[in-house]
Amino acid sequence: MRRGRPPRMPAHLLNLFDAHFRCVEGFQSTMDKHEIQRYKQADHDYLCATAPGEKDIVVESSHGCTIRAADGREFLDLIAGIAVCNVGHCNPEVAAAVKEQVDKALHTMVYGKFVVPIQVEVGELLAEITPAPLRTTFLTNSGTEAIEGALKLARKYTGRSRLISTERGFHGRTFGALSVTWREIYRKPFEPLLPDVHFIPFNDLEAARSAITDEVAAIILEPIQGEGGVRVPDDDYLPGLRKICDDVGALMILDEVQTGFARTGEWFACDLWNVVPDVICMAKAMGGGLPLGGFISRPEVMATFSDPPLSHLTTFGGNAVSCAAAKAAIQFMLREDLPAKARLRGREFMDGLREIQGRHTIIKDVRGRGLLIGLELANQQVTERFVDHAYDQGVIMGWTINAEAVVRLAPPLVITQGQIEEALQILEESVAAAEAG
């Protein structure tokens, strides 16, 4: 199996290939080089890409932990579409469930007299895997939408307006979610945003005690900051926040969009500290690769959206096909005990990374829980060299938006021991290359 860049053939040699060409032994692309180029050009011409840099991979297919490019390269995926493909790319059980649902019903009706069984089954499963007494879910299309709903819920339920968020926190790009997202360069151009939002340092209980008063509707935070650089709080932080919120009647909203669905070695990261928040926001891995999100709370809190009726609504949230995918994905996670797998593989991966750290001083820190791992390097330049080198060797990793020297590893939770060993070898070579400059 060949990974990474194809043999860099000079253009005149590429011209010798006609309709189809092979770059990986036994691999027959469905596209010839002209089609590949056409897609790249049309992507540039017709789709709004907001990330810098030239796109390189035209996706042919993705399965398990690998992504195949149309030109034949194969990549080991250590980011899983940013913590989305926890059950593996194109999980066969998810794919089969989607196919079955597609023949039954796509979209019917949002409210009124309609019960959509597949939505109900997802609701039941979510109540099973989240801590009691969280039980009632509002289904959305995405993570940012789950955050919007949770913020509205907190304001309406408490009758208060003030929202507390944390420095380096990331919650999405729509107006409400953006208002509680920390990084100023993303917020400033879109102001005015929601009023009465205040940021406090993450993992600082004293700051929380001062900020969370009886005027506060909610604090929203990620239990482990993802885009903030995979920051794990001290063990007393979330339990301490829980108590502060209880004392003043503020809601505790945990954004588990990135940490949910077994990623950190527990179903949700709040389980790492046995903390039950008032609301959990979820998305990403929830749909097994299809768009789906939601926020879950206690029935009496959620009831506030029924008075007046239709206080919150979405047309496509909880789409039947996405729910079929979610049901299959969650059942797969339950049967395969993905939380335990994430713990085991996470330990293997972090042990290996710490050994590499012992041999290379440019790695400053290895941290995380389960298979949400942050690798902090000396500075942004070496981080870029490291990521680029690994990419050339066929390993895909992710940045974190709010911490430029931190590389995030969040592979599919079905990654094997062998794939981790293979990854570690390439990562060590890449560290050495980055070190050499």
Ligand X SMILES: Cc1ncc(COP(=O)(O)O)c(C=O)c1O
282 binds ligand X (CB under 6 A): no
**Which residue's CB is nearer to ligand X, number 85 or number 424?**
85
Residues 245-274 that bind ligand X (CB under 6 A): 255, 257-258
Whichever of 71 and 145 has its CB closer to ligand X, that residue is 145
Q: Candidates 139-147, 342-350, 382-390, 427-435 — which segment interacts with ligand X by CB under 6 A? A: 139-147
Q: What per-residue string of b and e applies to 362-399 under the rule 16 or more CB within 10 Å gives b? A: bbebbbbbbbbbbbbbbeeebbbbbbebbbebbbbbbb
Q: Which amino acid would we find at residue 19?
A: A
> How far from 434 is each of 226, 350, 352, 379, 384, CA to CA, in Å?
24, 20, 18, 11, 8
* Interaction of residue 222 with ligand X, rule CB under 6 A: yes
Q: Which stretch binds ligand X (CB under 6 A): 68-76, 168-176, 213-221, 328-336?
A: 168-176
- Do 24 and 73 meet the contact criterion of CB atoms below 8 Å apart? yes
395 Cβ contact partners less than 8 Å away, ≥ 6 residues apart:
3, 4, 75, 76, 78, 423, 426, 427, 430
Interface with ligand X (CB under 6 A), residue from 66, 144, 165, 264:
144
Site string for ligand X, 173-212 (x = CB under 6 A): ----------------------------------------
Residue at token pair 């709010």: 402
DSSP state letters, 136-171: EEEEESSHHHHHHHHHHHHHHHH---EEEEETT---
* Ranges of H-type helices in 213-280: 237-248
Nearest CA among 291, 244, 243, 296 for reference residue 267? 296
Candidate segments 19-27, 57-65, 164-172, 345-353, binder of ligand X by CB under 6 A = 164-172
Query: Does residue 148 interact with ligand X by CB under 6 A?
Result: no
Exposed, middle or buried: residue 361 (CB in 10 Å: 0-12, 13-18, 19+)? exposed
CB of 179 to ligand X, least distance (A): 13
Alpha-carbon distance 338 to 83, whole Å?
14
The stretch among 33-41, 166-174, 356-364, 422-430 that binds ligand X (CB under 6 A) is 166-174
How far is it, in rounded angstroms, from Cα 430 to Cα 421?
Answer: 14
Q: Is 288 in the site for ligand X (CB under 6 A)?
A: no
- Site for ligand X, residues 35 to 64, rule: CB under 6 A: none
The answer to whether 398 contacts ligand X (rule: CB under 6 A) is: no
Residues 337-356 touching ligand X, rule: CB under 6 A, are none
Rounded to a whole number of angstroms, the minimum distance from the CB of residue 266 to ligand X is 16
Q: Is 402 in the site for ligand X (CB under 6 A)?
A: no
Residue with the closest Cβ to ligand X? 143
Pattern 61-100, ligand X, x by CB under 6 A: ---------------------x------------------
Q: Which residues bind ligand X (CB under 6 A)?
A: 82, 142-144, 147, 170-172, 222, 226-227, 255, 257-258, 283
